[in-house]
Amino acid sequence: MLKEKYALLDTDFISKTHLIRKDNQNTMIDRILDLPGYQFFCHEQIQREISRHDAVESNEWLNKKIAEERIHCLSDEDILDELHGIYSDSAEAMYTNMLKNGCEAFRKDYLETSFPGLTNIDFTNTSKETFLQVLSKDCANIGEGNNLGEIKSYVLFQMLSVKYGEQVYVFCSDDKDARKGIISLGGVRCISVVSAFPRLIKDGGMSEEEIRPYIQSFLEERQKNNQTTIKVHENSKEGRMKKVSCEKVMEELLEGKLETLMNGNLRYNCKNNKMEGT
């Protein structure tokens, strides 16, 4: 029996994989949602960010998938309700601790400087409604940007991890620095846009013929942004990374020469080293 997996989608992953497509009706993110055994989640803040900054088409796509319950979009109140079911009256304190962990992925004093209302709350005398009001006011003062979408996603990740254990995955940015935050929380299984391709083959059962149009679209998007290489770990004790052309990386993925690490990076596997005589 297939074990259920729980997957968190971030803004960058949704945006990029919506652009990678076979045609207008068949995007890479659609194929991701078709993966068997996965439940997909995003935070309400991600929906807001895509509605403000992304193309109308991707915004409409996300809203439709949420309405169809293909993606579960959770608000801060939804997360708090889940935490009440686990921690009872300590839910607000646990949410704040999870928020602190998310904030510290960016800056040690982020919670204290950007969430002064929550920092000064007396949890023993605060209702859920008051807590949410204070949280909302702090978020409004932070304003757009300032990593709020990532931080809220980190809170959602922690809640999902508490509820479901180790079967939580994060589909996230290809940018290594952007992934440092979520990785710093520990125990994270990251899947970047690049490492999602072997996931579509392994878990999605896509053939080489089926996946090639998406690979071609991916390569075209990389070219538009002048991104000609991808960093890949060597299979060595040092684990050094080297730049490999995007075209070669995609071919080697299809040939089974690369494996995906927990942080979403790619590494040459032992079989490939033997083939190349190293």
pLDDT in tens, 125-178: 999 999 999 999 999 998 776 789 989 999 999 999 999 887 789 998 776 655
3-state secondary structure string, 151-171? HHHHHHHHHHHHHHCCCEEEE
Question: Residue 160: its pLDDT value, please?
Answer: 94
DSSP state, 96? Answer: H
> In angstroms, rounded to a whole number, what is the distance separating the alpha carbons of residues 264 and 67?
29
pLDDT digit string, tens, across residues 34-80: 999 999 999 999 999 999 876 788 999 999 999 999 999 999 999 99
278 has pLDDT over 60 = no
How far, in Å, CA of 211 to CA of 213, rounded? Answer: 6
